[in-house]
């Protein structure tokens, strides 16, 4: 996938899957040894950062979870689902920028950010400050590779309503566009197609990344909440206030259907499709729905043994696409 002349490839690590700088999480060391996973085969989307430090629900120590098994992440491998309420934990954009790690990356990547101020004015100001800080850093030093910005407006674990944030997405994108960088907007499948089309046709972003997690309890006609969680969100029993968002198998057809509907009206705008991609057959579903590229994330926790097959299937689709062209 080429955005503003920058080649990002056709498979991304979803935001959060590989930490802020692609260093991964502590357990990834064992996944490399057990399954021979080559994490470098996909393009990094950094863990979403806010402007300022945010505690969230996953305390970090040297950018790794302080808890060996974070209580804000519930994994059910039998039913192939994850519920998380990490809540954008992190040291903040300013501190991350000072670590000088994004600047030294060798391959193109997407730097994911999300303004989280309580008011629209505060969120717009946060976006402005992020761009100013980025400009200042890029003037001071040369970055080793090209990169883009992903503007995340869909984290289900903040106090904001993602559907409300869509209304101000145009203004956020207009600010981000001043950077001159490729811009990707991250949403979830709850966003109305009409709204997404308007954003795509605005010229303010270069791709849309769908989907983030689905907030707990939403889309009850598509997600069997009571069957999966008869006693409600498992995170509430762990002392969290948030119910969290769902990742995993149920999202595949939801996202694929969303993309199919979008493609009825817009055939060409780049879409990154993600959610529930747990084996090679899921890759077929996502590309056949009309996705331009694919993002993977929950597969690392739910089906790491399938990652190699998924990568090979993506490569096959790309070879076929080149032949058709």
| Residue 45 DSSP code | B
Of the candidates 49, 42, 48, the one whose C-alpha atom is nearest the C-alpha of residue 28 is 42
In 141-217, which ranges are continuous DSSP H helix?
162-167, 169-177, 193-201
Which DSSP state fits 287? H
Q: Using 50, 70 and 90 to split pLDDT, how confident is the model at 156? A: low
Q: Are 56 and 64 in contact (CB under 8 A)?
A: no
Global pTM reads 0.94
Out of 3.40.980.10, 3.90.79.10, 3.40.50.150, 3.20.20.70, the CATH code matching 2-56+89-216+249-324 is: 3.20.20.70
The better pLDDT of the pair 312, 324 is held by 312
Check residue 157 and give its pLDDT.
45
pLDDT of residue 37: 87
For residue 325, is pLDDT > 80? no
Domain assignments of the chain as residue spans, ordered by start: 2-56+89-216+249-324
> What pLDDT, in 10s, does the model give residues 243-295?
999 999 999 999 999 999 999 999 999 999 999 999 999 999 999 999 999 99
Q: What is the pLDDT of residues 235-246, one digit of tens each?
A: 999 999 999 999
* Contacts of residue 129, Cβ cutoff 8 Å, sequence gap at least 6: 51
Closest residue by Cα to residue 160 from 229, 217, 88, 106: 88
pLDDT at position 195 over 70: yes
Q: Mean pLDDT, to the nearest integer, of 223-239?
A: 97
CB 298 within 8 A of CB 276: yes
Average pLDDT over residues 203-222: 94
Q: Is 199 helix (H, G, I), strand (E, B) or coil?
A: helix
For 34-53, what is each residue's pLDDT tens digit? Answer: 988 888 889 999 999 999 99
End-to-end CA distance of the chain, in Å? 14
Cα 91 to chain centroid distance, Å, stands at: 18
Structure tokens given for 90: 């992190």
Enclosing H/E stretch for 94: helix 93-98
Closest CA to 194 of 222, 226, 167: 167
Q: Which long-range contacts (CB under 8 A, 24 or more apart) does 220-226 make?
A: 222/250, 222/253, 222/254, 223/250, 223/254, 224/250
pLDDT above 70 covers a percentage of the chain that reads 95
Number of Cβ within 10 Å of residue 291's Cβ equals 27
pLDDT of 155 reads: 62
Q: Do β-strands 147-152 and 183-187 pair in parallel, antiparallel, or remain unpaired?
A: parallel
**Mean pLDDT on 140-149:** 94
In 3D space, the residue among 150, 175, 185, 159 whose CA is nearest the CA of residue 20 turns out to be 150
- The beta strand positions in the chain, using DSSP E, are 2-3, 6-7, 11-13, 43-44, 60-61, 64-65, 73-76, 81-84, 109-113, 147-152, 183-187, 207-210, 214-215, 245-248, 271-274, 293-296
Mean pLDDT of the chain: 93
Structure tokens at 290: 């009309």
Going by C-alpha positions, the residue among 125, 102, 124 that lies closest to residue 112 is: 102
What does the block give as tokens for 195?
Answer: 């709204």
What pLDDT sits at residue 323?
A: 64
* Cβ–Cβ < 8 Å for 154, 168: no
23 SS3 class? coil
Q: What is the pLDDT of residue 36?
A: 85
């Amino acid at each position: 996938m080429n955005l503003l002349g920058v080649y990002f490839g056709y498979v991304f690590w979803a935001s959060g899957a590989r930490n802020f700088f692609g260093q991964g999480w502590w357990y990834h060391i064992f996944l490399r040894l057990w399954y021979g996973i080559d994490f470098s085969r996909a393009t990094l989307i950094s863990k979403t950062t806010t402007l300022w430090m945010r505690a969230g629900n996953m305390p970090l120590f040297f950018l790794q979870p302080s808890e060996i098994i974070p209580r804000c992440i519930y994994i059910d491998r039998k039913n192939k689902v994850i519920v998380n309420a990490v809540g954008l934990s992190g040291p903040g954009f300013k501190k991350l920028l000072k670590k000088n790690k994004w600047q030294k990356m060798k391959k193109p990547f997407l730097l994911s950010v999300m303004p989280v101020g309580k008011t629209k004015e505060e969120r717009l100001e946060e976006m402005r400050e992020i761009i100013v800080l980025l400009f200042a850093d890029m003037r001071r030093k040369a970055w080793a590779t090209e990169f883009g910005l992903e503007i995340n407006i869909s984290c289900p674990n903040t106090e904001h309503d993602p559907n409300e944030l869509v209304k101000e997405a145009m203004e956020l994108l207009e600010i981000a566009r001043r950077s001159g960088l490729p811009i990707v907007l991250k949403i979830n499948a709850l966003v109305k197609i009409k709204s997404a089309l308007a954003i795509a046709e605005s010229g303010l972003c270069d791709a849309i990344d769908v989907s983030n997690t689905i907030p707990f309890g939403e889309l009850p006609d598509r997600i069997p909440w009571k069957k999966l969680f008869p006693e409600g969100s498992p995170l509430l029993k762990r002392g969290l206030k948030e119910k969290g968002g769902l990742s995993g198998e149920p999202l595949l057809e939801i996202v694929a259907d969303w993309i199919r509907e979008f493609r009825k009206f817009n055939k060409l705008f780049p879409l990154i499709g993600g959610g529930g991609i747990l084996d090679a057959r899921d890759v077929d579903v996502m590309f056949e729905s009309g996705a331009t590229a694919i993002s993977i994330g929950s597969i690392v926790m739910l089906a790491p043994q399938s990652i190699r097959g998924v990568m090979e299937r993506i490569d096959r689709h790309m070879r076929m696409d080149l032949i058709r062209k």
